[in-house]
């Protein structure tokens, strides 16, 4: 598929995700970490406008001179911006204006991508598409978070196929022998800079579960007093639990002895056989401690991944998000994409039901703060 077709496919899917929304749903920001849909629709367009159209399409004119200030996310090299926590204040520009902005950027990108392009521009466009795919997953998780805080618990889409495969396909475990293994992306296609450089690690013998932890298994942990036993928790995790009064995963509710949760299909009874989702790293660590097992490191996960059916949940690893040996960030603003976040975050591996098509690799390094619950996160145990 050529780059213009790839561009159209990704941009169309973003708008498809927003199809079930009403105008009011585009604006609200219920937490600093969850951006409004309207902001994300504009921000993913701003990325193409700023990093590709302005420098590479002759005579390109900004759609609106205020938009770079409104829709820059965190690029200090690209100038001042609206504070992250204030993105929900943007009742203007309207949602229609933001869709017109997308259209304007798409027309200009169509002009650019119809020309013969240097490899470095194609590479930048590809990065822009992977960036937009990351926002597609954020859109799905941020929209869920918004509806999950609404007392009416509205369904995002009662017919969605995203929840069709909530069960483990396999059980049992995989054994990996000790040895020296190669880590990092070695293919010819796209990868993020944080998947390089390729390097060797020594792994001891380990065993990793083929299935992910289910709701039923996690319920046993809750019923056994898992949230009340400080011995199971990391110190920071215990403080987080007490400060935020956490006693169950995000979206769970215990109502008259019934365990319920909010899903994108609406409020439902929890199915114990389904794979657990929406837990923090702190919860994953406490649960692992309770079982007498542990979380895998990101290196163990990568080496075992060929023998695992992964892709249902982002799986917390017990690896801090750090640069690989030889990691090099790009010059200028694009260098801010990943490198500057390599502090106070843990690596998640795999992909989730909300991850966009063609956006997964066994070397992919997702990362979030240990307290984050609103992504489609889960637990795979190792020993
Ligand atoms: Fe972004």
Q: What is the pLDDT of residues 261-309, one digit of tens each?
A: 999 999 999 999 999 999 999 999 999 999 999 999 999 999 999 999 9
- pLDDT at residue number 318: 98
CA of 102 to the centre of ligand 1 (A): 15
CA of 95 to the centre of ligand 1 (A): 18
Q: pLDDT for 176-199, tens place per residue?
A: 999 999 999 999 999 999 999 999
- pLDDT at residue number 281: 99
pLDDT at 349 over 90: yes
* pTM for this model (two decimals): 0.97
Cα–Cα distance list, 66 to 32, 63, 71, 82, 109 (Å): 22, 9, 9, 11, 20
Phi-psi region of 153 (alpha: psi -120 to 50; beta: other; left: phi over 0): left
CA of 10 to the centre of ligand 1 (A): 15
Cα torsion angle, 50, 55, 56, 59, sign: positive
From 1.20.120, 1.10.8, 1.10.15, 1.10.3470, which CATH number describes the 3-149 domain? Answer: 1.20.120
CB 257 within 8 A of CB 142: no
What letter does residue 195 receive in the DSSP assignment? G
CB 105 within 8 A of CB 49: yes
Q: Of the candidates 34, 39, 33, 31, which has an alpha carbon nearest to the alpha carbon of residue 14?
A: 39
CATH 1.20.120 domain extents, the chain: 3-149
How far apart CA 148 and CA 136 sit, in angstroms, is 18
> Both tokens of residue 226?
């898992």
Average pLDDT over the chain, rounded to an integer: 97
CATH 3.90.1580.10 domain extents, the chain: 173-378
pLDDT at 330 over 90: no
CATH code reported for the domain at 173-378: 3.90.1580.10
Confidence label for 72 from pLDDT (cuts 50, 70 and 90): very high
pLDDT at 146 over 90: yes
CA of 128 to the centre of ligand 1 (A): 9
How far apart CA 167 and CA 271 sit, in angstroms, is 10
Residue 188: which residues within 8 A CB-CB, separation 6 or more? Answer: none
CA of 155 to the centre of ligand 1 (A): 26
Mean pLDDT score, 310-315: 98
CA of 254 to the centre of ligand 1 (A): 35
CA of 194 to the centre of ligand 1 (A): 16
CB 282 within 8 A of CB 236: yes
CA of 11 to the centre of ligand 1 (A): 14
CA of 233 to the centre of ligand 1 (A): 33
Residue 212: which residues within 8 A CB-CB, separation 6 or more? Answer: 168, 275, 276, 312, 313, 315, 378, 379, 380
CA of 73 to the centre of ligand 1 (A): 6
CA of 367 to the centre of ligand 1 (A): 14
pLDDT at 260 over 90: yes
Q: pLDDT for 81-118, tens place per residue?
A: 999 999 999 999 999 999 999 999 999 999 999 999 99
Confidence label for 216 from pLDDT (cuts 50, 70 and 90): very high
CA of 356 to the centre of ligand 1 (A): 15
pLDDT at 331 over 90: no
């Amino acid at each position: 598929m050529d780059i213009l077709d790839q561009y159209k496919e990704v941009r169309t899917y973003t708008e498809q995700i927003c199809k079930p929304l009403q105008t009011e749903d585009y604006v609200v920001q219920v937490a600093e970490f969850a951006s409004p849909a309207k902001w994300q629709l504009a921000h993913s367009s701003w990325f193409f406008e700023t990093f590709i159209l302005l420098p590479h399409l002759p005579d390109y004119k900004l759609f609106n001179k205020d938009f770079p200030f409104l829709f820059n996310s965190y690029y200090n090299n690209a100038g001042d911006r609206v504070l992250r926590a204030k993105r929900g204040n943007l009742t203007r520009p309207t949602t229609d204006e933001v869709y017109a902005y997308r259209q304007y950027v798409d027309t200009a990108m169509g002009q650019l991508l119809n020309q013969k392009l240097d490899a470095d521009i194609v590479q930048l466009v590809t990065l822009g598409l992977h960036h937009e795919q990351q926002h597609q997953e954020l859109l799905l998780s941020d929209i869920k978070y918004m509806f999950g805080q609404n007392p009416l618990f509205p369904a995002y889409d009662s017919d969605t196929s995203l929840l069709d495969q909530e069960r483990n396909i396999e059980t049992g475990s995989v054994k990996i022998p000790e040895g020296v293994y190669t880590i990092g992306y070695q293919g010819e296609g796209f990868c993020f800079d944080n998947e390089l450089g390729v390097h060797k690690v020594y792994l001891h013998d380990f065993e990793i579960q083929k299935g992910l932890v289910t709701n039923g298994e996690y319920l046993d942990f809750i019923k056994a007093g898992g949230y009340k036993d400080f011995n199971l928790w990391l110190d920071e995790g215990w403080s987080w639990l007490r400060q935020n009064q956490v006693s169950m995963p995000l979206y769970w509710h215990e109502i008259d002895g019934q365990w319920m949760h909010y899903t994108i299909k609406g409020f439902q009874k929890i199915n114990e056989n389904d794979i657990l989702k929406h837990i923090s790293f702190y919860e994953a660590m406490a649960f692992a401690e309770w079982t007498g097992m542990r979380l895998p490191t990101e290196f163990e996960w990568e080496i075992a991944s060929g023998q695992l059916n992964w892709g249902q949940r982002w799986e917390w690893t017990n690896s801090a998000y750090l640069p690989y040996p030889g990691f090099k960030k790009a010059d200028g603003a694009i260098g801010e994409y990943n490198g500057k976040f390599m502090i106070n975050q843990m690596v998640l591996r795999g992909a989730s039901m909300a991850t966009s098509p063609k956006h997964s690799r066994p070397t992919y390094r997702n990362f979030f703060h240990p307290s984050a619950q609103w992504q489609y996160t889960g637990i795979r145990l190792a020993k």
